[in-house]
Amino acid sequence: MYLTLFHPSRSKSFVLVKYLYRLVRKGIRPILIVPKTSVSMEDGLALGRMVSKISNEETQVVLTFAESFTQAVSFCTELGSGKLGSSGRDLPVFLDVTHLQDSRQDRDLGEMIQGLGEKWTSLFPLTCFLEIGRDSSRLGEASGRTSLFQISSLVLERKGGMWKRLKEEPGPSLSEDWTEDLIYTLLPEKN
């Protein structure tokens, strides 16, 4: 299942901090994937420091920088298979995934995400796309965001202090109790 969150204000990136903090407190290990081209070295260091403060002894945020979507997927797959440590409850969080480049320019982002296959969904019953500094307006002009909207079962946008539901459709029955708990009690405030 795919979840997309749009947060139009870059100046309020505390939403990311709050979100990661809540995941860690629930015992869910976020795998935070950041496009290499979207952050400066100083911002990357600040993000690393922030992540280390959020992590605790039981659950640690994993931070990685990727040049392409394929590279990010490979890293997550290695991590999810237990080769680099295992937590049992891992959540890939793609920050600004629409900034990730890929070697094949002819492939749409939505096609790449849908092409992840059964191995991905068995490792990660839920995948989150967090688009900071991008609102949902003019979705049709931004193919990456349109793709995220189409493939996601739940799309939320931050409006004021609340999450506004832009799309919600029943996903396949989730085999993992923690994912349903995460979606319906952790993230959106009820409107």
CA distance 165 to 155: 6
Percentage of the chain exceeding pLDDT 70 = 77
CA distance 2 to 124: 10
Domains belonging to the chain, first-starting first, are 2-172 (3.40.50)
Q: Kindly tell me if the per-residue pLDDT of 87 is higher than 50.
A: yes
| pLDDT 10s digits, 27-77 | 888 999 998 877 777 877 888 888 888 888 888 888 889 988 989 999 998
CA distance 141 to 9: 19
pTM: 0.85
Are the C-beta atoms of 68 and 103 separated by less than 8 Å? yes
174 band by pLDDT with thresholds 50, 70 and 90:
low
Q: What is the pLDDT of residue 44?
A: 77
CA distances from 2 to 64, 109, 157, 167, 171 (A): 20, 13, 15, 12, 9
